């Protein structure tokens, strides 16, 4: 069978599937001076297409997982990319064609995939308890070799996880060395169960709670504070009957209000408090923290459907307003069950990150992809969430950027004192670059850039594993 990708915008230009594993020992430094003492591994993950999809109306969040590694050592940076060779990949490799249909709709798969898990492992990576795993919310994690990127076992944490999947947006409390994660549709497609898990520094489960969501929908990200867990439910809902008719995995309900669950960090199902707000949606959270009786969740909020390729039940395509960094505040002492919301920054942005040492704590700095235009261009910005002030790299070139990642300048550095790692897409040159920015002077542009001799087509999220973290298996931020 010939391999021919459909002529659709998703597969054109920079989006053309790359389908190549690469190794480059020692990237060429093309600008600036690398920061001294930057030693470790930056891991990223994103989708690519192993073979053309069974359907021409593909969406960008689908596709087989590709893991990318940038190793900083001995004054050089090396690059490596490898497919995640999970059950889906191996089955298609044997068949020499795609076996999976519409996004997460098993009723549209080829007969050969009837008993093959369709997890794509294409969204993020996590390092905890000495192990690197690749994540996608449609499956359990897969272990990844930290040096070779070889795919290891699918893991349920030694039987501790009974949910069918885990989130691609876990939170790691670097002060307590705890992993907090969850599963939505935890009993399978169309189920309403939510499962929350907490693991200690050794990877042992120390807490678990299950409760019912208001509907069977998507919960792509959540928030954790020192005292609370905050889970937002936006009305992108799974209807199994629609799936059986060949429909999309989620349907947008513009008549439903947002529901937010707040529970103590070691809470029970009976302690879940519910708060309601206007119809909206979001994929990504910047941070969360507790302030007295109020739990704050800072989200990139869309006034409408953030995923317009998921239609309404009657087939309407609903667009949204721009993504604005917004604070949702839930007052646990109030008699009503409505949260308040306040826009923190008027410049649109997505893929937000913080200084990870401040996960769950009061903070001031956020880093986002901003200025995304119709031509695919974009840039990176720093936002002061207290004032809304933005420090933006106005490059004026045919460049788009991947999610930024913050690294502290040194142990004990103040919040925001450090570096931003960013992958740059050189849209007019057909290759990528790795850039390092001073996080306190983003507008000044990169302090160092390396040439990557291939297109890093797309990455969503990732993690940094310092030399000390890899050696000790623990974060060193102080403890509780």
Each residue's pLDDT tens digit, 168-196: 999 999 999 999 999 999 999 999 999 99
What is the predicted pLDDT for the residue at 377?
65
pTM: 0.96
Poorest-confidence range of 253-257, 299-303, 396-400? Answer: 396-400
Each residue's pLDDT tens digit, 45-65: 999 999 999 998 899 999 999
Each residue's pLDDT tens digit, 11-20: 999 999 999 9
* Arithmetic mean of pLDDT, 104-129: 97
Tokens of residue 400, six digits: 């788009």
- pLDDT > 50? residue 374: no
* Arithmetic mean of pLDDT, 28-51: 96
- 334 pLDDT band (50/70/90 cuts)? confident
CA neighbor of 105 nearest in space, from 234, 236, 10, 244: 244
What is the predicted pLDDT for the residue at 371?
82
* Arithmetic mean of pLDDT, 418-437: 97
**CA distance linking residue 12 with residue 10, whole number of Å:** 6
- 295 pLDDT band (50/70/90 cuts)? very high
């Amino acid at each position: 069978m010939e391999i021919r990708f459909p002529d659709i915008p998703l597969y054109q230009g920079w989006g053309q599937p790359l389908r190549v594993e690469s190794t480059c020992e020692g990237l060429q430094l093309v600008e600036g001076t690398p920061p001294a003492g930057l030693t470790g591994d930056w891991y990223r993950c994103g989708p690519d297409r192993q073979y053309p999809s069974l359907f021409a109306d593909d969406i960008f969040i689908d596709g087989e997982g590709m893991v990318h590694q940038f190793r900083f050592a001995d004054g050089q940076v090396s690059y490596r990319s490898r497919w995640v060779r999970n059950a889906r990949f191996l089955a298609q490799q044997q068949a020499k064609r795609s076996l999976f249909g519409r996004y997460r709709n098993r009723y549209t798969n080829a007969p050969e995939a009837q008993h093959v898990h369709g997890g794509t492992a294409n969204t993020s990576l996590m390092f905890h308890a000495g192990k690197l795993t690749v994540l996608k919310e449609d499956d359990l994690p897969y272990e990844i070799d930290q040096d070779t990127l070889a795919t290891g076992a699918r893991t349920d944490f030694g039987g501790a996880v009974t949910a069918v999947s885990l989130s691609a947006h876990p939170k790691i409390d670097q002060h307590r060395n705890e992993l907090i994660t969850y599963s939505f549709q935890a009993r399978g497609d169309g189920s309403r169960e939510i499962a929350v898990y907490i693991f200690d520094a050794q990877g042992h489960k120390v807490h678990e709670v299950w409760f019912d969501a208001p509907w069977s929908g998507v919960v792509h990200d959540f928030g954790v504070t020192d005292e609370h867990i905050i889970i937002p439910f936006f009305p992108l809902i799974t209807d199994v009957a629609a799936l059986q008719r060949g429909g999309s995995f989620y349907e947008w309900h513009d008549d439903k209000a947002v529901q937010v669950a707040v529970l103590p960090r070691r809470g029970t199902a009976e302690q879940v408090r519910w708060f309601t707000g206007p119809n909206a949606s979001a994929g990504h959270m910047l941070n969360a923290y507790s302030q007295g009786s109020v739990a704050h969740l800072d989200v990139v909020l869309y006034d409408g459907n953030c995923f317009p390729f998921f239609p309404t039940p009657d087939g309407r395509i609903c667009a949204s307003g721009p993504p604005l960094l917004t604070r949702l505040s839930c007052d646990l002492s109030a008699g009503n069950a409505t949260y308040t919301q306040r826009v923190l920054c008027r410049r649109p942005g997505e893929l937000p990150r913080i200084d990870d040492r401040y996960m769950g704590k009061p903070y001031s700095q956020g880093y986002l992809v901003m200025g995304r235009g119709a031509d695919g261009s974009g840039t990176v910005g720093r936002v002061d969430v207290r004032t809304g002030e933005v420090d933006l790299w106005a490059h004026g070139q045919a460049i788009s950027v991947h999610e930024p990642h913050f690294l502290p300048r040194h142990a004990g550095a103040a919040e925001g004192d450090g570096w931003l790692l960013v992958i740059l897409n050189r849209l007019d040159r057909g290759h990528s670059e790795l850039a390092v920015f001073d996080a306190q002077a983003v507008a000044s542009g990169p302090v160092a850039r390396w040439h990557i001799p291939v297109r890093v087509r797309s990455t969503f999220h990732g993690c940094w594993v310092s030399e000390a973290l890899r050696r000790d298996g623990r974060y060193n931020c102080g403890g509780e």
